[in-house]
Amino acid sequence: MNGGLSTSRLEALEKRLVGEMETTEALGRVWAPAPEPGPAFMARYNVVICGAGMSGLAIAFGLKRRGVVGVQVIDRAGEGREGPWIGCARMKTLRSPKHLAGPDYGLPSLTPRAWYEAVHGTDAYESLDKMSRQDWMAYLGWYRTMTEPNVSNGTSLAGISQVDGWLRLVLEADGETQQIECRRLVLATGIDGGGAPMIPDFVRSLPKQYWTHSAEIADDNHLKDRDVAILGSATSSFDWAATALEKGAKSVVMIGRSRNFGRTEVLAWTNFPGFLGHFGDLSDLQKWRYIRLYNGFKIPPTQDQFDRAVSNPRFAMALGHKVRSVTLDAGRVVIESDSGIFSADHLLLGTGYTIDFTQRAELKSIAPHVAFWSDRFAPPVGGASPEIAAHPYLARGFELTPKNPATHGWLSQIHLFNCSALASLGPISNGVTGMKYGLPRIVDAVVGSLFHEAADDFLRDLAAYREHHFDPRGHGGDLEGMKEVSS
């Protein structure tokens, strides 16, 4: 790639973006100014967004487009390391096809494609199948530069409460704690934002040095010259397998309960405006039935993932094995299934995630007061699903709903834009595919709630509105001396 040419193309793209934003009235006039500081000069914001990854940055820009300022984004990771892309992710590319829209809000020059062609050239884009995760992270960094959100990196959300109508947040950064307040909170916290990595009970008894979950950021070089066992046979397990082999593992065995791999990518079916745009309008029974079917689709590996693993003679699969126990014997991990026994130096978990608010520092204090699907819906006979029942029961704009509105109605000031919104609103907050439907919904909800909260103030403003837009020039503004037409 020619560095000078790439720089020139990118500069031209950025100029086009500025023009597109001007011609499409992309930025509305500011009507929700930043709040004044609270008691003891406590910082106050209209909106705080927890998470500066793909979703958080896009929501911040969406609010900016709608004239809302006083928006603060926080992320526990350092700048350029937000989200999974160059942290715990181990795949070579995104799972999403290259043609899908990103967080661009319909601005052509803000799309992933426009950025990629500017950086790598149109020929490179034409030959591309899926964007690499490193390129995607670079695109998000450029997106952040162009949309200019206020972001505090290295900052974690540790607690949420309510004081005099404001959400009070406890933040932790650099070993210190501070409190801020906001009118609305958006949790754009990704795949584990409603819970934690799922660790089987039979693994928890092992010393931590013997196992690693796919959600962890780890130096995978420790797998070199070691026998490795992987629990799970879905897409993240194949990422694990290929990574371990490339790091020089002596052997890798993948142990899965199912005898078959997933072959159908359910997101491909969901990608049409009717479903993604209006799933949230369905009845609870319809939502339940859809998500039961949705969850029944096992996510298949990409062809690249599969080929990277199975082409290596050090890789083996043991499918149809239900693990009964995992123990330690003479420094080796012993996995006993209903069909055999395996031994390894290290165990890798591709076991997914669980929804459990008590596992999240920011959510555990409010967990007893939040309504979940188990509180609001009784499935039909034969249709039970503990997995769906554990999801929070959200309103149309991703708002939490309280078990008792009389005592905890303020929970509706919290919007949950992460994977745990699936049961209530469909797959529009858990990846690239549904993003163009999820973003307008949550931005509309936040903007609407801020306006409704201040509606009386705007009514008084309208009653006092006297700005002149017409001046009868040549008459000094005096209409009394003008002739009147006789009737």
Q: Token pair of 368, please?
A: 């007893």
Judge if 117 and 246 occupy the same domain: no
For the chain, the domain total comes to: 2
Task: Report CA 39 to chain centroid distance, whole Å.
Answer: 33
- Please check whether residue 475 lies inside any domain of the structure: no
Helices and strands of the chain, counted as H and E runs: 17, 17
Q: Are 24 and 88 in a shared domain?
A: yes
Residue type, 187: L
Say if 483 falls within a structural domain.
no
Say yes or no: 451 and 377 in one domain: yes
* Residue 480 located in a structural domain: no
One domain for residues 362 and 237: no
Residues 6+ apart with CB under 8 A from 234: 262, 298, 299, 301, 350, 352
Tens digit of each residue's pLDDT, the chain (487 residues): 566 778 899 999 999 999 999 999 999 999 999 999 998 899 999 999 999 999 999 999 999 999 999 999 999 999 999 999 998 988 889 988 899 988 999 999 999 999 999 999 999 999 999 999 999 999 999 999 999 999 999 999 999 999 999 999 999 999 999 999 999 999 999 999 999 999 999 999 999 999 999 999 888 999 999 999 999 998 889 999 999 999 999 999 999 999 888 889 999 999 999 999 999 999 999 999 999 999 999 888 888 889 889 999 999 999 999 999 999 999 999 999 999 999 999 999 999 999 999 999 999 999 999 999 999 999 999 999 999 999 999 999 999 999 999 999 999 999 999 999 999 999 999 889 999 999 999 999 999 999 999 999 999 999 999 999 988 775 655 666 666 666 5
| Parent domain of 179 | 3-194+355-455
Task: Using the 3D structure, point to which of 328, 351, 374 is the last residue of a domain.
Answer: 351
- 304 and 375: one domain? no
Q: Are residues 225 and 305 in the same domain?
A: yes
Same domain, 343 and 210: yes
Same domain, 342 and 447: no
Phi, psi of 12 (to 5 degrees): -65, -40
Of 351, 382, 417, the residue that ends a domain is 351
Helix axes 133-147, 54-65, angle to 10 degrees: 30
Contacts (Cβ under 8 Å, ≥6 apart) of 39: none
* Total-model pTM: 0.95
At residue 24, the 3 state secondary structure works out as coil
Residue 482 included in any domain = no
Is residue 177 located within the same domain as residue 203? no
Residue 326 domain-assigned (yes or no): yes
Tokens of 295: 């969850």
Within-domain flag for 156? yes
Q: Is residue 135 in a domain?
A: yes
CA distances from 351 to 46, 180, 231, 241, 270 (A): 38, 36, 7, 14, 24
Intra-chain end-to-end CA distance of the chain, in Å: 80
CATH classification of the domain holding 257: 3.50.50.60
* Residues 17 and 159 occupy one common structural domain: yes
Same domain, 255 and 361: no
**Is residue 222 in some structural domain?**
yes
Task: Judge if 256 and 398 occupy the same domain.
Answer: no
Quick one: DSSP state of residue 462?
H
